[in-house]
Amino acid sequence: MLKVHRLLMISLILSFLILGCAAKKEALLPSEEVVRGKIITRGEFAYLLATRLNWEGIEKRPKKVIIIDISKSPYRNEIKKVAKMEIMEVYPNHTFLPDKTLNRGECAKIVENILVTVGGKEKWRKKYLNKPSPFPDVPTYHRHFNAIILATKKKTMKPYRDGRFRPGFPLSSGEARRVIRRLERHFK
Q: Are residues 86 and 14 in the same domain?
A: no
Q: Are residues 135 and 149 in the same domain?
A: yes
* pLDDT tens string 10-52: 554 544 444 444 333 333 333 334 434 689 999 999 999 999 9
Q: Are residues 4 and 60 in the same domain?
A: no
Measured between alpha carbons, how far is 16 from 48 in angstroms, rounded to an integer?
Answer: 44
- Domains: count for the chain: 2
The pLDDT of residue 18 is 45
The pLDDT of residue 166 is 96
Q: Are residues 1 and 19 in the same domain?
A: yes
Phi, psi of 139 (to 5 degrees): -70, 160
Measured between alpha carbons, how far is 48 from 38 in angstroms, rounded to an integer?
Answer: 15
Q: Are residues 6 and 56 in the same domain?
A: no
Q: Higher model confidence: residue 34 or residue 73?
A: 73
* pLDDT tens string 82-119: 999 889 999 999 999 999 999 999 999 999 999 998 87
* Mean pLDDT value across the chain: 82
Compute the average pLDDT of residues 134-141.
95
Q: Which of 147, 126, 127 is nearest to 135 (CA)?
A: 147
| Domain that includes residue 133, residue range | 32-187
Q: Are residues 79 and 6 in the same domain?
A: no
Q: Are residues 55 and 120 in the same domain?
A: yes
Q: Are residues 8 and 46 in the same domain?
A: no
Q: Are residues 116 and 129 in the same domain?
A: yes
Burial class (CB in 10 A: 0-12, 13-18, 19+), 180: middle
Q: Are residues 137 and 149 in the same domain?
A: yes
pLDDT tops 70 at residue 142: yes
Q: Are residues 55 and 11 in the same domain?
A: no
Q: Are residues 81 and 45 in the same domain?
A: yes
**pTM for the predicted model, two decimal places:** 0.77
Q: Higher model confidence: residue 76 or residue 18?
A: 76
